[in-house]
Amino acid sequence: MLAFAGIVLASCSDDDNDPEEVNEEETITTMTVTLTPDDGGTAITLKSEDSDGDGPIEPEITVSGNLVANATYSGSVTFSNVTEDPVEDITEEVEGENTEHQLVYVYTGAIIDVYNLDTDDDGNDLGLSFDLDTGDAGYGTLQVVLRHEPTKPNDGTLSGAGGSTDFTATFSVTVE
Amino acid sequence: MRTWFIMLAITLVQFTVEAQKCNGVISGTVSDYHDKTVLVGASITIAGNRDVVYYTDEKGFFKIPDLCDGTYELEIYHPECQTAFMTVELETSLELDISLEHHIEELEEVKVVGNKATKTNSALEETLDVKTIEHFGSASLGDALKEINGISSLNTGANIVKPTIHGLSGSRVLVLNNGVRMQDMEWGAEHAPNVDVNAAGSISVIKGASALQYGGDAIGGVIVIEQNRFEKKDSLFGKTILTGILNGRGGKVNTDLVKTYKNGWFVKGQASYKKLGDLEAPDYILSNTGVNEIGASLHLGKENFTTGWRGSYSYFNTEIGILSASHIGSVDDLIRAINDDQPTVIEPFSYNISSPRQEVTHHLGKFKYYKRFEGLGKLNVQYDFQSNRRYEYDIRTGDDKYKPSIDLKLTTHTLSTDFKLDSNSGYKLTFGLMGRYQDNFANPDTGVRRLIPDYEKTDAGAFAVMQFDFGNGWNFDTGIRYDYSKIDAKKYYKTSRWEERGYDEDFNDIIIRETGSSQYLTNPVFDYHNVSGTLGLKYRPDNQNTISFNYALANRAPNASELFSDGLHHSAARIELGDLRINSETSHKVSLSISNQGEKWGYTLEPYANFINDFIYLEPTDVEYTVRGAFPVWEYHQTNARILGLDLSLYSNWTSHWKTDHKFSLTKGKDTSDDEPLINIPAANIRNKVSYNTPWKNFEVGLESKYVFKQNETPADIYVYSPEQGEDVLLEINSAPAAYHILSLNSSMDFNFDKSTLTVSLIGTNILDVSYRDYLNRLRYFADDLGRNIILQFKLNY
């Protein structure tokens, strides 16, 4: 009886192959927002980077400098995956599937408007580039959210857009 | 006792009506084959004249008078025995000494009347009969079991129902399906047992770890689902049940057919199909909550008294939609869902099942052989094979839209044998051995990091259980079991997670290599040695009163989920983390049962206490931030826990037609290390039922009220930072919903035809269409529970 059990057990447990590694595709680790002042001056970059994806390390947020009061900036956004070597540009994928994506902007304080978003193939908002107005000196926040498969067209709010969040980051900025 | 009175009454009536002219007499005694105890209430029928039935009296004696000389074939039946047939020659008078095999518990026969045969001597246990199983045939195993006091369920919506015994579920509850311990990934909170209720002949629940023959780790208890045993005669019979279900706008059809032969051969086939569309709460449609279910089974064998075998195969496939609104993206969605009264997604009714959904297939094959050795006992040998394949589909986008997020295949082989020494009437001894090999394969094609890794598991167990009969109604039982378990996994850890868990200090020796993308491939191998034991005493001074006491020591090794869970569980929008340091948990449970089953009224009072050291549990601890937002983190921890409870049931037969039943169940769970309530402990509930029945067409109607209290003892809620609100907010993830009261109605009626019986049942649940949410439903954050449901069932026995 036990001998039989032994044969059954032994015959099944000789599998020493290592399982295949899973690298989650379409992982976005990094979002970079570049704000270029319309009347010249230094461009400001806002960056959120999470080097371990869903892992325990929190995304690192950096803002390269302060914004100028009562100015208009041209903004553009890029996405990449820095865990790949060479670094993978995800912006192209977003552009390629532009009708299935949208960037939603939520702003407070000294950032007084985000408008003039670029459009997708159907003429609806996409948001990879935009214009941004600052108000009087002070503090403000800019939240940038990349939504996948949103309801289009929509009112430009998070709840109006729906869909699933591919990337979200909130930047605190100083306007002087 | 009541049964005997009824039987005597019937017998008397038959004496007067069926009196015949001749003077021949067949008389005799019916007794147990093994210990020669007399059998009371055995029925004796003369073949060809089934209308006349004689019963043995208190001394096991029967007498069939007024017979003419000739040859008679007798059928001797006792509810706890195998039916015997004998051909006799009568010349004036004949005295017989008839022995029946009186070992129902191992013969897997269903109890209908008389004293119940039990799986254990002294543990708390209860059995559902065929009628109740059919009543719940269109629902799930978990729903049917809730009829038993002390059983609740951990739900994910209405279709995923995990049985919870005295507050414990998952790996702490063994499901024994047709003698096979189910290996169907019971570790997950949203994994329900893959069992077709309609395939069951009887379902028993042992509330605790006292049935050591089935396993030593049943800290919650054991659910034993059994097949009917067939009479040895040439017969063909079956039944078909058609059920229409209003809520979900679907139904279920189940049919089975049995062919038996006098020489012991039998074959049984069964199949069922169920389909439901979106379910409905009182105020809205619960979008994407449909279900498709297919079950089939085949049993073939030859079973005689001294030897026999049986081969079985069963198939179960289910596809279950999970409430659309429960798909959330991040902690802000969860905060919004908890604060909103209505689900965020409500769509028109549909039969479509879209993501999130799960699809599970379970195959079970079994071969069992037994041989009885005269004057010694009985040997059983069994091999079983199980394959469980689980796909979970989340809402995914792009190329991955139709790919599952979880794709697991669990394959299990088990070989077991036991020997029962039962020739001595004073004691019975059963001992046995078990060996098991299991392989889990997590398919990497999902493109999602594995939540549960690839692993191989080997188990070996040995047990001995003994029962002593001291006479005068005193019975003593004891048992001991040893289990060895080894789990050998291959798992990838993100290096950041490895360090966050502190594994770099304790487990660096199990790293095989580091990959190019910052992951470690590791090879965790763990051994567990566990000892379990029971001790029990039962006193049964008469047929009406029983007092029993039971102590069970149980040890359970951690499962793969508790050890290895790692990552974002997309469908639940939470990060689940196991811990490699988790060791076995140990339970000490004591229970007492005092019962008086009188003719007019009766009660059962069952208090219990379960002390669990190193209790493994999953609780929300924190929030982790990713680029997609913030997700609650649920971690497996160990603590010391105490569960105290009381189950009380009462009945009263007011007249021969009117009956009331009353049940109360209370469970209190405490984390004694942190002096905090335990999570997911069922709330106290009271059930009252009034029923009326009459022999006229077997008509019966019952009205049941169920009141579920609010669970006031829950762990504290947690504060989390809401990126959207820009501040810490209270996440009411542990708070329990309000108390609720629901009414159900059931009625049934029999119509007899030539060779068949049609039973029509009408069942209404939540008939007042009350909106409520239940603490033990994981979707309580998102939507109300089921509204009114009307079920119409036609059962044809032929």
CB-CB under 8 Å, B516 with A148? no
- Residue A164 with chain B: CB contacts under 8 Å: 329, 395, 397
Query: Of B87, B102, B117, which one is at a domain's C-terminal end?
Result: B102
pLDDT at residue number B105: 38
The residue among B365, B374, B366, B304 whose CA lies nearest residue B107 is: B304
In a domain? residue B665: yes
In a domain? residue B107: no
CA dihedral B153, B155, B161, B163 (to 10 degrees): -20
The CATH number of the domain holding residue B34 is 2.60.40.1120
Q: Which residue in the set A21, A24, A58 is minimally distant from B515, CB to CB?
A: A21
A67 to chain B, any CB pair closer than 8 A? The answer is no
- From A141, which residue of chain B is nearest by alpha-carbon distance? B726
A24 to chain B, any CB pair closer than 8 A? The answer is yes
The CATH number of the domain holding residue B759 is 2.40.170.20
Contact between B706 and B744 under an 8 Å Cβ cutoff? The reply is yes
CA distance B143 to chain A (A): 34
Q: What are phi and psi of B101, to 5 degrees?
A: -80, 115
Which residues 119-148 in chain A show a CB within 8 A of chain B? 141, 143, 148
In a domain? residue B110: no
Domain check: are B190 and B85 in the same one? no
- Angstrom CA distances, B224 to B118, B318, B461, B708, stand at 11, 21, 19, 27
Domain check: are B561 and B457 in the same one? yes
Contact between B102 and B78 under an 8 Å Cβ cutoff? The reply is yes
pLDDT at residue number A122: 94
CB-CB under 8 Å, B458 with A13? yes
> In sequence order, which ranges of B471-606 are alpha helices (DSSP H)?
495-500, 503-506, 560-564
In a domain? residue B331: yes
The residue among A102, A100, A143, A144 whose CA lies nearest residue B726 is: A143
Domain check: are B18 and B148 in the same one? no
Q: Checking DSSP bridges between strand B566-569 and strand A30-37, what pairing results, if any?
A: unpaired
Model confidence at A15: pLDDT above 80: no
Task: Provide the 3-class DSSP secondary structure of residue B624.
Answer: strand
Contact between B697 and B751 under an 8 Å Cβ cutoff? The reply is yes
Q: What are phi and psi of B424, to 5 degrees?
A: -95, 130
Domain check: are B383 and B467 in the same one? yes
CA distance B575 to chain A (A): 9
Contact between B184 and B410 under an 8 Å Cβ cutoff? The reply is yes
pLDDT at residue number B36: 67
Mean pLDDT of chain B: 88
| Residue A5's pLDDT band (cuts 50, 70, 90) | very low
Domain check: are B722 and B589 in the same one? yes
Q: What is the interface pTM, i.e. ipTM, of the complex? A: 0.81
Domain check: are B30 and B175 in the same one? no
CB-CB under 8 Å, A57 with B496? yes
Q: From the CB of residue B600, how many other CB atoms can be counted at a distance below 10 Å?
A: 9
- Residue B453 with chain A: CB contacts under 8 Å: 19
CA distance B341 to chain A (A): 17
- Residue A85 with chain B: CB contacts under 8 Å: 516
In a domain? residue B484: yes
C-alpha–C-alpha distance, residues B394 and B577, integer Å: 19
Cα–chain-centroid distance for residue B590?
A: 21
CB-CB under 8 Å, A9 with B439? no
Count of CB pairs separated by less than 8 Å, A with B? 128
CB-CB under 8 Å, B397 with A164? yes
Cα three-residue angle B760-B766-B770, rounded to 5 degrees: 160
pLDDT at residue number A175: 94
Domain check: are B150 and B39 in the same one? no
Q: What are B594's two structure tokens? A: 């005092």
Which residues 77-106 in chain A show a CB within 8 A of chain B? 83, 85, 97, 100
Suggest the residue from A47, A60, A167, A168 to mutate for an interface test with chain B (most B CBs closer than 10 A).
A168
pLDDT at residue number B175: 95
- From B513, which residue of chain A is nearest by alpha-carbon distance? A18
Q: Which residue in the set A13, A165, A170 is minimally distant from B437, CB to CB?
A: A13
Domain check: are B88 and B177 in the same one? no
Contact between B378 and B372 under an 8 Å Cβ cutoff? The reply is yes
Query: Helix, strand, coil: what percent of chain B each, to 5?
Result: 10, 55, 35
In a domain? residue B119: no
C-alpha–C-alpha distance, residues B743 and B453, integer Å: 45
Contact between B662 and B687 under an 8 Å Cβ cutoff? The reply is yes
pLDDT at residue number A26: 63
CB-CB under 8 Å, B454 with A19? yes
Low-confidence ranges of chain B (pLDDT < 50): 1-20, 104-116
A21 to chain B, any CB pair closer than 8 A? The answer is yes
In a domain? residue B120: no
Domain check: are B192 and B330 in the same one? yes
Domain check: are B49 and B135 in the same one? no
CB-CB under 8 Å, A18 with B626? no
Cα–chain-centroid distance for residue B462?
A: 24
Mean pLDDT of chain A: 86
pLDDT at residue number B50: 60
Domain check: are B86 and B143 in the same one? no
CA distance A169 to chain B (A): 7
Q: Which residue in the set A15, A56, A148 is minimally distant from B496, CB to CB?
A: A56
CB-CB under 8 Å, B628 with A165? yes
Q: Which residue in the set B444, B494, B629 is minimally distant from A168, CB to CB?
A: B629
CB-CB under 8 Å, A23 with B497? no
CA distance B653 to chain A (A): 53
CB-CB under 8 Å, B439 with A22? no
CA distance B447 to chain A (A): 5
pLDDT at residue number B110: 31
- From B414, which residue of chain A is nearest by alpha-carbon distance? A5
* Partners of B689 in the β-ladder: B661, B704
A37-88 pLDDT, tens digit each: 998 889 999 999 988 877 888 899 999 999 999 999 999 999 998 877 788 8
CB-CB under 8 Å, B444 with A22? yes
Number of domains in chain B: 2
The residue among B758, B783, B759 whose CA lies nearest residue B772 is: B783
C-alpha–C-alpha distance, residues B623 and B618, integer Å: 15
C-alpha–C-alpha distance, residues B241 and B761, integer Å: 11
Q: What are B783's two structure tokens? A: 């939507």
Q: Which domains does chain A have, with CATH numbers?
A: 27-175 (2.60.40)
pLDDT at residue number A25: 67
Contact between B370 and B308 under an 8 Å Cβ cutoff? The reply is yes
- Residue A13 with chain B: CB contacts under 8 Å: 437, 456, 458
Q: From the CB of residue A85, how many other CB atoms can be counted at a distance below 10 Å?
A: 8
C-alpha–C-alpha distance, residues A95 and A79, integer Å: 11
Q: Whole-model pTM?
A: 0.84
| Residue A160's pLDDT band (cuts 50, 70, 90) | confident
DSSP string computed for B211-228: -TTT-S--SSEEEEEEPP
CB-CB under 8 Å, A165 with B626? no
CB-CB under 8 Å, A55 with B628? no
Length in residues, chain A: 176
pLDDT at residue number A119: 94
CB-CB under 8 Å, B450 with A56? no
- From A3, which residue of chain B is nearest by alpha-carbon distance? B435
CB-CB under 8 Å, B627 with A31? yes
A23 to chain B, any CB pair closer than 8 A? The answer is yes
DSSP string computed for A46-78: EEEE-TTTTSSSPPEEEE-SPBPTT-EEEEEEE
Domain check: are B92 and B130 in the same one? no
Q: Which residue in the set B442, B518, B724 is minimally distant from A52, CB to CB?
A: B518
CA distance B593 to chain A (A): 39
A16 to chain B, any CB pair closer than 8 A? The answer is no
In a domain? residue B696: yes
pLDDT at residue number A6: 43
| Residues of the domain holding B256 | 125-797
